[in-house]
Amino acid sequence: MNEVQRAKIVLKILNKTYPKIKVPLKSRNVFTLLISVLLSAQCTDVNVNNVTKNIYPKYYKPYHFKKLGRKKIERLIKKIGIFRVKAKSIYNLSKILIEKYKSKVPRSFEELEKLPGVGHKTASVVMSQGFGYPAFPIDTHIHRLAQRWGLTNGKNVVQTEKDLKRLFPKKNWNKLHLQIIYYGREFCKARDCYGLSCKICTTCYPNRKKPLKTIKA
């Protein structure tokens, strides 16, 4: 079985398991989506949602966060990991959006990735979930799963993104990214499946006997 055949199996199982999919991070607009994705680095979506549910009803525009200032932003997000670094990014990002983009979130990878605290993965999520642009955000979990399923050689997240974009139709990218995340959380967990027990792993590799070691992103 080659990688193209495995990709077809993955797509079939994921579409059957998750025919409809919800965006896990709660947001009020594209700006708050950007903030939530930034906050989700090294943090669970559940934790981010628990924190932002008390923020977004009142603060949901760049102007709001600029007016709050760094220290007040820190207090609002203190339950989230590396909150001081993230508060600084949110404050500076809000100022830039006001001064350079008329308080609007830019609609290009290049402009998004120039914003404080925004890397390629964050920009990809905003482009796909915020603007509906075909993108394939790759986090450490998708990187690990793509290796287990034989869709990439696992050198790094950049290579994994290229491989998945090559193997799957562009029309599936936005939904597929979320399907993989949900499937990994439910069926192909890092310290549970080990590439041996979930339906995708057993279908793609029926003869695999030993736990698969994956290369970290």
Considering the candidates 20, 121, 171, 210, report the single residue annotated as catalytic. Answer: 121
Residue 189 annotated to the active site: no
Q: Given 139, 163, 210, 213, which residue is catalytic? A: 139
Q: What string of H, E and C letters represents the secondary structure of the chain? A: CCHHHHHHHHHHHHHHHCCCCCCCCCCCCHHHHHHHHHHCCCCCHHHHHHHHCCCCCCCCCHHHHHHHCHHHHHHHCCCCCCHHHHHHHHHHHHHHHHHHHCCCCCCCHHHHCCCCCCCHHHHHHHHHHHCCCCCCCCCHHHHHHHHHCCCCCCCCHHHHHHHHHHHCCHHHHHHHHHHHHHHHHHCCCCCCCCCCCCHHHHHHCCCCCCCCCCCCC
Q: Are 11 and 180 in contact (CB under 8 A)?
A: no
58 carries an active-site annotation = no
Residues classed as catalytic: 121, 139
